[in-house]
Structure 1
Amino acid sequence: MKWMGLDYGDRNIGVAVSDAFGWTAQGVTVVERRRDGSEFERIAELVREHEIGEVVVGLPKNMNGTVGPRGEICIAFAEQLRQKLKLPVHLWDERLTTVAAERTLLEADISRKKRKRVVDKMAAALILQNFLDSKTKR
């Protein structure tokens, strides 16, 4: 079964998918958020295109483990996804994944302009990879 990882942000949603075995995550694209909610249709297209069985949404928690306003928004997004896609949607602690993605891109000496284009899908890949890794450790 293939998994999809989503990094839900203010402007964009980073998208990553797993391989068929659920071992590795690869960043695929970035979906722009719209006022009309059309991002759900684009995500549904990607789910069909990649034959996704389950979805993982990053949950931004505070450093002390509590869920703040941003986390509440992600929980609501995950619930909407669950209803629209009719698929299992999991929430995964995403603390510092965007920071880790930025750091990796900086260390690879990627220009600021290019970093801006790939950081969201890289963060989605980190969220999904961490989730997949946790499943194999059980």
Structure 2
Amino acid sequence: MTRERVAALGLDIGRKRVGVAGCDGLGLLATGLMTLYRKSFAQDLATLGQVVAERQVDILVVGLPLLADGSLGIQAKETRNYAKRLGKALDLPIAYVDERCTSVAAEALIRESGRSPSDNKGLIDRKAAAIILQQWLDDRCTSPKV
């Protein structure tokens, strides 16, 4: 049995930066690719459009910063609106992943490597994007196929 090709891009969308992660073609392992420092939507789109084209991406996996009770707060609504604009402009579907703990997990990984999280905010964003994408990939593998 052969596995289908997976070409997903993980995004950790913030007000100043977007962490970007990609996965291997089998959809087993997510890795941070870059941190996009947000300027204008048009510039963000041009940069992400290049990554999408190079990697032949067919889905955007976006971390949604839900509130503790699971509802959408202001940041989650902003993230969702930005993601919808990206999806529409890039003609790609969007999958959302609860990202409530990803930045904390990313900071812990950076501390473990002996670096300071406060000096490596772009790295935190990339690692958070990889965690978001990995969670989605893992969920795909464990979800029953209908």
Q: Give the TM bin, normalised by the shorter chain.
A: over 0.9
Distance change (3 Å), C-alpha of 1:62 and 1:112: closer
Equivalent residues in 2 for 1:33-72, closer than 5 Å: 33-35=38-40, 37-72=42-77
Is the contact made by 1:7 and 1:14 (CA closer than 8 Å) also made in structure 2?
A: yes
- Report sequence identity in percent: 33
1:73 has 2:78 as partner: yes
Q: Which residue of 2 aligns with 1:115?
A: 120
Q: How many residues align?
A: 138
Gaps of 5+ in 2: 1-5
Q: Which has the larger radius of gyration?
A: 2
Normalising by structure 2, report the TM-score: 0.89
| Runs of 4 or more above 3 Å deviation | 111-114
| Alignment RMSD | 1.3
CA contact (8 A) 1:81 1:89 kept: no
Q: Which runs of 5+ in 1 are unaligned?
A: none
Shift of 1:36: 5.2
Aligned partner of 1:22 in structure 2 is: 27
Residue 73 of structure 1 deviates from its aligned partner by: 0.3
Partner deviation per Cα, 1:28-64 (whole Å, 9 max, x = no partner): 0011111353101111110001111111011000111
From the superposition, tell whether residues 36 and 52 of structure 1 become closer, same or farther in structure 2 (CA, over 3 Å). closer
